[in-house]
């Protein structure tokens, strides 16, 4: 989700669910230790609970960055052991770390010693075409012994050669049964599942055997999907919102960010282009909010243009 789940995206998602745990895009240790820390770690207070996802493979660097994350107020620090991109592999982190469970354990131990918030691991079920359950079982066991109690498992192998990141999300087969087996073998651990989950029924089915479900692409492309989660999965009152009211709150946020950070509404609006996913006229609505010719137009006028020109009303957006 790099370049996707930034603070603006997470602000939108928090409008739709008060209780879902939100994750940042992966931030590398190098970017924090040698770059612009506020740019990478700044977030809105409304986003809580929110987890910082780190990419790296040096225990000392990860510990220092975990401490930075805690100091900035993040509720959880997560290390990514699942990203298969070649750029990440060149940095010797992401999914290739699954081949080095003792190193991941050292990283986790250093992070656990550095912070008081939970340290979690996101990973795959295997590497390349090796489909042995023993591989992921031993990985989880080794890392758990170092102090990690929560694992988010993408139920696909990561093929490190021959597939693009997009193909790695689609071609390696989903094997949910391996994640279920992890929970049976490690009942004291918190095991969540990720990969190919696009409906509330699928989430409910997985929660019968597991502790949590992570939803990535579907939540981004169809953010209204989150609107039913508080009532369905957290035993809370449903979010009292319509697509119209969420759009209005995002416009107010755009205005605030222009003042506080000099942010263009255009860079924020891209995250809400799926808000009317599946509704008649959604494509025309997206065209207005993604029209670069309107970049200098105040966002409230852009919203009015979308509504007036294409005739949206409350009954269409509920």
Q: Which residues carry out catalysis? A: 83
Q: CB count, 10 Å around CB of 191?
A: 22
- The closest of 18, 7, 3, 5 to 257, measured between CA atoms, is 7
Q: How far apart are the C-alpha atoms of 194 and 122, rounded to whole Å?
A: 9
**Cis ω on the peptide bond leading into residue 113 (within 30° of 0)?**
no
Q: How many residues are given for the chain?
A: 318
The H or E element containing residue 71 is helix 59-72
Q: How far apart are the C-alpha atoms of 224 and 156, rounded to whole Å?
A: 26
DSSP code, position 25: P
**Helix/strand/coil for 242:** coil
- Neighbouring C-alpha atoms within 13 Å toward the C-beta of 147: 17
Q: Can you say whether the dihedral through the CA atoms of 275, 279, 285, 290 is positive or negative? A: positive
Give the tokens for residue 153.
Answer: 């498992």
The position carrying tokens 């995002």 is 250
Alpha helices in 115-242 (DSSP H): 133-145, 165-168, 176-185, 200-207, 217-221, 229-233
- The closest of 285, 276, 154, 288 to 225, measured between CA atoms, is 276
DSSP code, position 146: T
Q: How far apart are the C-alpha atoms of 113 and 37, rounded to whole Å?
A: 22
Burial of 189 (0-12, 13-18, 19+ CB in 10 A): middle
């Amino acid at each position: 989700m790099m370049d996707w789940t930034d603070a603006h995206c997470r602000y939108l998602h928090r409008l739709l669910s008060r209780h879902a745990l939100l994750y940042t895009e992966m931030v590398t240790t190098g970017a924090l230790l040698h770059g612009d820390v506020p740019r990478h770690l700044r977030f809105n207070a409304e986003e809580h609970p929110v987890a910082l996802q780190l990419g790296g493979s040096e225990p000392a660097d990860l510990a220092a960055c975990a401490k930075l994350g805690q100091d900035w107020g993040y509720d959880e620090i997560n290390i990514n052991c699942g990203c298969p991109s070649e750029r990440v592999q060149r940095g010797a982190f992401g999914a290739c770390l699954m081949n080095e469970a003792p190193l991941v354990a050292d990283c986790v131990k250093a992070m656990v010693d550095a912070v008081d918030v939970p340290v979690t691991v996101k990973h795959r079920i295997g590497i390349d075409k090796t489909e042995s359950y023993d591989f992921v079982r031993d990985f989880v066991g080794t890392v758990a012994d170092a102090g990690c109690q929560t694992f988010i498992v993408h139920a696909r192998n990561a093929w490190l050669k021959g597939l693009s990141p997009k193909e790695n999300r689609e071609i390696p087969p989903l094997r949910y049964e391996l994640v279920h087996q992890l929970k049976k073998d490690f009942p004291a651990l918190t095991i969540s599942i990720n990969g190919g989950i696009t409906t509330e029924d699928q989430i409910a089915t997985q929660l019968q055997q597991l502790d949590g479900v992570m939803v990535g692409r579907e939540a981004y492309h169809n953010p209204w999907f989150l609107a039913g989660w508080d009532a369905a999965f957290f035993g809370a009152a449903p979010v009292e919102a319509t697509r119209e009211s969420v759009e209005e709150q995002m416009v107010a946020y755009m205005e605030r960010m222009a003042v506080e950070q000099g942010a263009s509404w255009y860079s924020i609006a891209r995250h809400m282009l799926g808000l009317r996913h599946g509704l008649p006229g959604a494509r025309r609505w997206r065209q207005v909010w993604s029209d670069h010719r309107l970049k200098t137009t105040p966002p409230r006028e852009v919203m009015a243009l979308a509504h007036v020109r294409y005739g949206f009303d409350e009954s269409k957006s509920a």
